[in-house]
Chain A
Amino acid sequence: MKKKLCSFVAVVMTCALALGGCASATPAESKSSAGSAASGAAAGAAKSDVKLTYYSMWNETEPQGQTITQAVDAFKAKTGITVDVNWQGRDIRKTLQPALDGGEEIDLFDEDLDRVNGTWGKYLLNLEDYAKKSYDTTSSKPFTDVVSSKLIDLARSLGPDGKLSTIPYQPSSFLVMYNKDIFSKAGITSVPKTWDEWLADCAKIKAAGKTPITEDDAYIASLFGYHMARLIGKDKTVAMVTNKKIDDPAVLTFAQQWKDMYDKGYISKNASGNIYPAGQQEIANGSVAMYLNGTWLPNEIKGSAPADFNWGTFAYPAIGKDGDGTDSNQFGAQCFGINKDTKHPAEAFQFIVWMTTGEWDTKLAENSIGVPMANDATWPKQLTEAKAAFDATKTRYPWAVGMENDSDINAKIKTNFALLVSGKLDAKGFADAMKK
């Protein structure tokens, strides 16, 4: 009898564990259901007794996550609207779509502007009407009038049917990030605008006892893409990837110019073996002057770089007569999107406005050494020069000028460039290897 009783208890406990596991697997669902039941708000006006579920691309411990946590509390105090943040981190790339397909009640989410519009476009609500309205933090002006029109236009161009369906924030641009103190020490008074000026400045930096530039496996494709676009223009560069043929004669020119950089000792001796983030640590420790990277770099290496690191930024120099000038650069942003099935679109948009204008837009930029969205916001001092380069940008490059759109091409660039800048491959060898 005792044996049977024990067996019965064991079975009950097993079932309880299993069922308990199932129940705890969907906490967000139950919470958001409660929120929707309490609401029933009409699309037009925001209500205060609402709970929003926000799938966030950040981790709670990142500067962005910490700022968003504070902003959510302030938003609740101001409007009464609760925002339940589900911190997904970069795993959102794999968790969001299954959650949306599974019918989980998610009101808003965020990720890269290209990804949200391109990959998750079918889940997005058209935001054109909400963006035309004015809000508390927009000084009675339409929302779109107080934030970067360049990014709003970009979001609209990427949106489903060309409609504004996401609101960008945390913008970034891909530029040459450099150590201004090394430039000063080397006697460089103005940033290079052409390849000849670039080479002259590299010589000065080397003479000053520093390494001019570094690279690592994560950003080699971007460097190749930028350089090719400066030689033959964006369209021809992207077309090589589309046609899966990296065979333009200018590939040899690229290889000759970077072989020359290697021969002269202008690129870090570790560049061929640098695994991300090893390259940027060479910037942080002050041994290397330049690195083609995003405006997020000061935030990424603030833990290892000196607090008074003197940041400068300029656009990758112009190179060939058939290529693009310094007014062509990659730029983009993270962005918020609202689930088309949300019951609280007005409240969700109100939260987006809260995050992208006024106090919290500024705080987010300050805390993450990032770029603000609002036109009247001040950029962090580390990015003062980045603002000038961003404002001067007229043509947008896609990420890596398309070189990462194809994994095979990206992998080929990584291997062959590393061999080129370690002397294992000559210029012709590089061009031939890229054609295969």
Chain B
Amino acid sequence: MKTTKNKAMIILFLAPALILYLFVFLYPTTRTFIMSFFKVEGVTDALSSWKFDGFDNFKTLFGTPLFVSAMKNIGLIWLVGGISVLLISLLFGVILTSGVLGKSFLRSVIYLPNVISAVAMGTMWINYVYNPDFGLFNSFLKLIGQDGLAKTQWTGPELVFWSMLIAYCFGMVGYHMLIWMSGIERIPVDFFEAAKLEGANSFQRFSKITLPLLKGVCRTNIVLWTVSTMSFFVWSQLFSPVNLSENTVTPMSYMYELVFGASSSALTARNSGAGAAIGVILVIIVVVVFTLTQRIVRHDDVEL
């Protein structure tokens, strides 16, 4: 009876969000999906100018070397970056929840890169860390007498991808560390105390209690990492600011150029249909990863 009386209020509360969702999210999503099967030049071109071309946009993309490079790059960022970030952030999370002195301060310091704009962070890395003449890396190598290594071009074609990945991961560790910490802090202290009384050492407590009870958090971290990786754009732009490079291109930066044209050359052809197809591919990847994560990292009876 009470629920029925509240129906009007429920509808009233839901309506603004629902309407906004339909117009701001669902409409562009549906339009993008449909657009991926059409030949469309400009993203706002009238529907009458769209030409149906089936899966041609997808075929063209996978036949384009730059898009293939973009997929390889994003794959490496997801896998290598993901493993590194999640492991390092887990390590920091465990250390900071183990009663270490200055926890709040250290947590803030590790999280700090997330507060700073990615553009500022990228500029810092490129100019003050990777600069071959006065950057941190080469200055340090010179200091320790490694003059040969101190000539390394960190942003040259052979290393620029890894330099970009390190810079990106540096900023992401703090974010995932906080998620790990929230999971660890939810585990009742009694579990650890009981284990201690039974004579379990730190590693045993970590592997037998902490890790199994972090499965849900692990899943969350993997999904969040996947979503943020698929939208990898700013760092790609920072490491190739004017036009695309094989080593730094990602699906998002390639999509941007296809949809809006190149910034330096006005003659580069636009192809919003192919851009939409990239969007669809990224969505499929996220959904697949999410589904697999749900299946592989299952909830079980010890989940809190």
Question: Contact residues of A with B, CB < 8 Å?
Answer: 4, 7, 10-11, 14-15, 18, 90, 93-94, 97-98, 101-102, 111-115, 118-119, 217-218, 221, 269-270, 272-276, 278, 398-400, 402, 404-408, 410-412, 414-415, 418-419, 422, 424
Contacts and interface: CB of A to CB of B under 8 A. Distances in A.
A14 B16 contact: yes
Nearest to B264: A404
20 contacts: A93-B263, A97-B43, A97-B44, A98-B43, A111-B266, A114-B266, A114-B267, A115-B266, A119-B261, A119-B270, A276-B242, A278-B126, A406-B268, A407-B257, A407-B268, A410-B244, A411-B66, A415-B247, A418-B156, A422-B153
Q: Which bracket fits the contact residues of B?
A: 35 or more
Contact of A118 (B46, B263, B266): B266
Contacts, number: 133
Contacts of B259: 94
Contact of A11 (B12, B160, B242, B261): B12
A407 B66 contact: yes
Contacts of A94: 259-260
A48 B243 CA distance: 44
10 pairs of A and B residues whose beta carbons are closest in the complex = A273-B153, A115-B266, A404-B265, A218-B242, A114-B266, A273-B156, A101-B44, A273-B155, A94-B260, A98-B44
B45 interface: yes
Interface in B68-113: 69
B245 interface: yes
A273 B44 CA distance: 38
Interface of B: 9, 12-13, 16-17, 20, 42-46, 64-66, 69, 126, 130-133, 151, 153-158, 160, 239-247, 249, 254, 257, 259-270
A196 to B, nearest CB: 30
A407 B244 contact: yes
A11 B64 CA distance: 50
A97 B130 CA distance: 38
A167 to B, nearest CB: 17
A134 B200 CA distance: 93
A154 to B, nearest CB: 13
Contacts of A424: 158
Contacts of B43: 97-98
Contact of A218 (B17, B126, B241, B254): B241
Contact of A415 (B12, B157, B257): B157
Nearest to B265: A404
Contact of B157 (A118, A407, A418): A418
B262 A407 contact: yes
Contact of B265 (A7, A90, A405, A419): A405
Nearest to A10: B13
A419 B157 contact: yes
